[in-house]
Amino acid sequence: MHRRELSPPVQGPVRRRMARERLIPSSAPRSARSQQRGPSAHTPLRAHFPNSRHGVHAHRHAPSSCRSSQRREICIATPLQSPDGDLVIFRSSVTSSGKPELQEHRSSAKDTVTGDRVAIKKLLRPFQSLVHAKRAYRELRLLKHMNHENVISLLNVFSPDESMESFQTFYVVMPFVPLDLSRVMKMQKLNQSMVVYLLYQILRGLQYIHSAGIVHRDLKPSNLGVDENYEIKILDFGLARQTEPEMTGYVVTRWYRAPEVILNWMHYNQTVDIWSVGCILAEMITGRVLFPGGDYFDELNKIIEVIGSPKPSLINKMESKHAQDYLKMLPEKQKRNFKELFPTMSPLEIDLLDKMLDLDPERRLSAAECLAHPYLEEYHDSDPDPPGEKYDDSFENLDLPISEWKSLSHMEVMTFEPKKPKQQST
């Protein structure tokens, strides 16, 4: 009788690659797949990319020259302003001589040294005010710190301005991510395998960010980049901050905002990001926004309609007397039965969602606890990712004028050592 030999367990990157291959069949040639009409549950996203000019519009003025910390030719493009007006994607050819040559319009760039497509973004008027100057420096520092395959990072940064005196803007070069999760969900209905794989990557990137002591504070589908292989990168660290006791205030797009932030009822921590991911998970499964509030109070009312009223023990813990008084005035609501509210969800999906959307931030799951949930069992690794290097956020306490923040940003730009996409963490 022959003994059957068991294969070693599949772990880490191999397991993730196998899962991705189940989502994206490669038996048919790319040309055949691209001829299909309409996205299906198993169609690679590359077959349904929108036109490269979608979502941007032309901006008139191109930089006269660009100075890079590494002398290499980078093909970029004439400026295209993003819909939110905060960033501009450029397209022109910048050579080592610093003289731009206008190229055909496109929304991404090509690094002629590596051959990789990259995104090039410009912060508009970063030094127009103290708030803008500090935020620009913060975002630059955060991008430089990131080194994880599910988190956007900095490949290069350069400025067209030759001196500190003329320094008015800078451009950041990042890995090119063609779509975001919001567009993907509009393009196709996500099946369970896709939802599990996307959620796993979001939580994996979030665990890295949190282990570095950072709270993203603005997680939403449009801030989750997705490539043609359904690989996720967490984007936009403009609102990110290091974990600290005094964290309060306006953060996160309303529909994905944790209740403790809406009423500013207590100092929050990293679990505000978990609430946002819970809202995103429900949206991936159902295809609709979970709490589409029209304003702050409507948002809170929609949350209470589903999650129920906060318990007296939670209200008593709130540091805001105004929040306590307001919540005591509201009619008491019982928590909805998730099985009835989400009839298509599996018991594991309901259990995880319930624990991510706990009104009490101290009871809400962490990213690591979410990754250990049975819903993500197929991605459980015996060799989890190492924690991220702690982020030095001491500059947040500095009270500096605009000129000093500008000087700090200039120093970061001039001293940055570019890295190639292949050098990113895997």
- Just list the catalytic residues: 218
The 10 Å CB-count burial string (b at 16+, else e) for 123-133 is bbebbeeeebb
Beta strands across the sheet bearing 179-180: 179-180, 224-226, 232-234
Q: State the Cα–Cα distance between residues 416 and 419, nearest whole angstrom.
A: 9
Residue 211 CA neighbour count, 13 Å, CB half: 18
- Structural contact between residues 80 and 59, judged by C-beta atoms closer than 8 angstroms: yes
CB atoms within 10 A of CB 15: 15
Sign of the Cα torsion 21, 19, 17, 110 reads positive
Q: Angle, nearest 10°, between helix axes 271-286 and 192-211?
A: 170
CB atoms within 10 A of CB 296: 14
Helix (H, G, I), strand (E, B) or coil at 45: helix
Residue 404 tokens, joined: 């000093």
Taking alpha carbons only, the member of 169, 187, 170 closest to residue 179 is 187
Measure CA 257 to chain center. 15
